Structure 1
């Protein structure tokens, strides 16, 4: 027997009717149970063919249509419809900026723009544009391990960093993930360490590098790998932290090789905890480097306030981020304010320049000016621009239609069109019925009619009907009363309310996401099973878990069983991971799991086992936020995004676990998508963010391949504008044969724009994010 390990602890003490006490659930003695059972019609049919749920839904619909007392609170035609904010949105349009307003904005920028042009051309003059080794201005530091090969674009990044340092400027190293930003930073620090003769120097020189906890060990390993003679200190353990602030111990040299100078590596949490000590560092603090610098996007976050309180009069600052613009211009301004507080000192003024919510309405000249402003301080290269074709395989993305199934539609409609309390009661009654249907053996002594009468009783009780009303509304109520109370205790309270009292909360948006992803996140009727063999057949197991899981099942059947691909599945919710573990177990698919609770030791062991060439593990199930950084899983060539993050860069980081240097196969991304719902508006906003990033960052050409030109290149405004709507019908819910062929096609030709155009009218899939022909 395979024991399930994903079950959560449930507190069963609280009453389901919060207005009543636990006494509402009367526990009967064995004798009383037997007495009342004798008067109840038993079920003598085939349990496997008894579908209480469908029969009840028909009764429920009939009662609503007849406008009886039963279930009237679920009649949406009688409920005043609230605003449905889940329909596909049109961004609120502002009036187009007048020419006078545009001119004022341009005038306000003129001085700043001219100054930025000067900086840009100075730095560009100092850089080697051709990549010719004879023209490099600075030698590679001797501290670099001679076995390490520095690519031309990495060397150019190293020289750009040195140019900033020499000119007393701060900057943002914003190369796309996987291009070696860490190596470029270490080259800079090695150069300074060597040329300023810091080795065995009596004075103290500290390069403070602040990183996320998940990448701290990786940074230590990179220092050892790239420049093993560069002194470093992992400032994390309690003993090291205590010793560092004791003057006598620090004078002896706490960095590796007993040096007083070197790279001090620590985490966000530690720097905030010990900020009072770090403020005492004066001339010794030479460089402040923030990895994953987009974490400073919130102007008022504690981390940015702590870092701003450091004494940085004699030091430079570098932010490292592959995603400088994630959601809006406010976040970009926050990063610029941190590295250049004297220039970007007034957010209100900056916001006046770019105050349109629709990026299309911002004048092209204003965007061009922003590019000019950013040019001296930002370096960004993309993998597609600097890597050879054989260094990085192709990547394409599919949008997979996952319409709401009938149960999801009913639950979702109650949520968005009814009051929350009515939705909650509807969900409780629906879940009680589904539980009895899928666990018929627990109520086998009752026939369907009795159980449906109990559900009517449950409705009346949830709405505080008095017993007199129940007697008049339910036939044979006196006879069945004890049966109803018994079902309350042994079925509803024990199995249904025990789960839903913590999962049905007032967060409407989260309820929407759970219904779309899998209603079992809110209530799982298989929750109490200890053995996977008790989960019934595959068709029954999948039947009520929503169309996303059914589409996932179809995809895995294609990718694993038919084509032998290895797959990463990303999802936002731990509770959904529990359900996906159940699914993979029932299908006997070997898998690994990574969440925020996975220990570092287990994390590395699981990655190693998954990456082995003869590994039996076909699926890696990952919590998106926990597994988006510091992981190399190139043995997989397929990614399934079960749900999307509001921040598109988070999903991009997840995809980069597979699509990175070291990948030898073409990569496919499958994004599950439910239109005409919460995900429709979410996806439109995600595309607006992607488009803003394209206009502000990618079109800025922050590569220094050429000097800054005075003429403004045409901006590709509609680069990300793409039709991702599906016809919402009952037909073609399963993949067609043609679609299966497209989903599995990994030929180079299938990654082109012309290929996508040929298959743009498929009912269940859309292909986008393709490569140019």
Structure 2
């Protein structure tokens, strides 16, 4: 494998930090620029120079273990890689084998859940002294207070390296957490003052051409952004595709506004009205308390409403995605009848009607449909094809998923239930597809990726959850990425986009973001763009 010149510079940069005992750094190349290859080459050069420069610890998301194994075999098969992963029994077997027989290895490859999980796993890793501790998707270390951060901070290593295509996710305070992890001698003690320095915000009001003003998004002042750049410079190496890969095919992004049907719009408005009433009632409930001071009542009101807001946002997002994610088709009378009928099933012999009814009342339309598919007694209550084909975004998908085309699609969603609905949509459209989400076993993921990437693959669409399918995997056989719904963190969506737009892609890539018009999704999109602008300013 011939490394590109920018990758060679990246390896030299890592070696310089390592040799000067700086403590660590952040390789923050944009997604798809081959950070994995650079790290493998870096480790190889250390071992060529000093065969005793081992072992190295690499911690990766569960979904990328297979990909890392494959890359080691591809780029440097001579390296001895011990994969510390699997069931609890399998990991115990590895520990026993190392304890009693020993096993020289160059790299110990494990996952975040394993490295921060059981006491046995953490104790095993703490007892080892690593030359390098390398964390893939290092932005997962953005929270000082998380168990993950504290657990991995406890492991001993001469050099710490974070790999992330998105070092700045939401704000500069998170960047401080990353720097404090890789160079604790410099940033660890000062992290509180750093957090304060980057906490301030400036609210901007954008003037329109008519002279009216619209509410802007609070961003950090330019002074703080410049300070962040100076602070990052020695410890962060970041290159963008447009800077180093002139030959990479172009990526275009389309935001497609989807107009909801009258039924979906009605569901959305009902959710909005119900949510406003609930929040108002919560506030009034606090007001009724006469024994507390005005200040205490105000604080209690804010705290109580704040806990309810995320639920409200989630319900609005569901309504904007697909009405079947809520309950509108199955009315109370229908559910009462279903609850009586299902009691005839063997699985419900010892169940009581009121409790069965209560459970059904809490289900969404599609969950109730899935229940009907499982039990013969309530199969007459199943939804019809028109129900899952009836949403603004499904209408857009029908236009995008054209048959008899060479285009191949990655279709991402935040919600696994939405993926369930999309499976029905794919079957109705007679579109061959594969699916991978957080519930997919790690042992099966590599096979699914290979099936989709095969030159003779019959699959036109890969359904993926944004979290499970958006990190560290190569899906360059697809040339169209559809974001069915967007993340509050735009960098997660960028990660998903770059599963296709990366080294190895030979066709132009089109990204389509589906946004239901007149809904909270438009606000999410606006916030996402503001966060990406901050990233561009700092980077």
State the TM-score, normalized to the length of structure 2: 0.76
Task: Tell me, in whole angstroms, the C-alpha distance in 1 between the residues paired with 2:451 and 2:104.
Answer: 36
* Consecutive unaligned residues in structure 2, runs of 5 or more: 205-218, 282-311, 343-355
Q: How many residues align?
A: 458
Relative contact order, higher structure (CA 8 A, sep 6+) = 1
Query: Which residue pairs with 2:258 in the alignment?
Result: 402
Cα 1:309/1:603, change in 2 over 3 Å: closer
Query: Which residue pairs with 2:31 in the alignment?
Result: 177
Query: Which residue pairs with 2:525 in the alignment?
Result: 683
Give the drift of 1:526: 10
Query: Which residue pairs with 1:270 in the alignment?
Result: 114
Task: Tell me, in whole angstroms, the C-alpha distance in 2 between the residues paired with 1:286 and 1:631.
Answer: 26
Task: Tell me, in whole angstroms, the C-alpha distance in 1 between the residues paired with 2:535 and 2:445.
Answer: 32
Give the drift of 1:608: 2.7
Question: Quick check: 1:535–1:541 contact (8 Å CA) kept in 2?
Answer: no
SS of the residue aligned with 2:156?
coil
Any residues of structure 2 matched to 1:173-572 within 5 Å, and which? Answer: 173-198=27-52, 205-236=54-85, 237-243=90-96, 246=99, 249-250=101-102, 253-255=103-105, 262-272=106-116, 273=118, 274-281=121-128, 284-312=129-157, 315-344=158-187, 345-358=189-202, 362-389=220-247, 392-418=248-274, 419=277, 434=329, 489-490=336-337, 500-503=360-363, 520-521=365-366, 524=369, 528=373, 540-541=386-387, 545-556=390-401, 559-561=402-404, 563-572=405-414
Question: Quick check: 1:325–1:693 contact (8 Å CA) kept in 2?
Answer: yes
Larger Rg: 1
Question: Quick check: 1:631–1:657 contact (8 Å CA) kept in 2?
Answer: yes
1:159 pairs with 2:17: no
Give the drift of 1:408: 2.2
* Consecutive unaligned residues in structure 1, runs of 5 or more: 1-147, 199-203, 256-261, 436-454, 459-483, 505-519, 698-773
Question: Quick check: 1:215–1:629 contact (8 Å CA) kept in 2?
Answer: yes
Which of 450, 455, 463 is matched with 1:608 structurally? Answer: 450
Per-residue Cα deviation, 1:552-597 (whole angstroms, up to 9, x for no partner):
22222xx335x44222211111111111111211222211122222
Give the drift of 1:404: 2.9
- Greater helix proportion: 2
Give the drift of 1:610: 2.5
SS of the residue aligned with 2:485?
coil
Give the drift of 1:278: 3.0
Cα 1:356/1:613, change in 2 over 3 Å: same
Cα 1:570/1:635, change in 2 over 3 Å: same
SS of the residue aligned with 2:186?
coil
Give the drift of 1:416: 1.9
Give the drift of 1:188: 2.1
1:628 pairs with 2:470: yes
State the TM-score, normalized to the length of structure 1: 0.54
Give the drift of 1:235: 2.5
SS of the residue aligned with 1:625?
helix
Query: Which residue pairs with 1:666 in the alignment?
Result: 508
The worse-fitting range, judged by mean Cα deviation, of 211-220 and 491-500 is 491-500
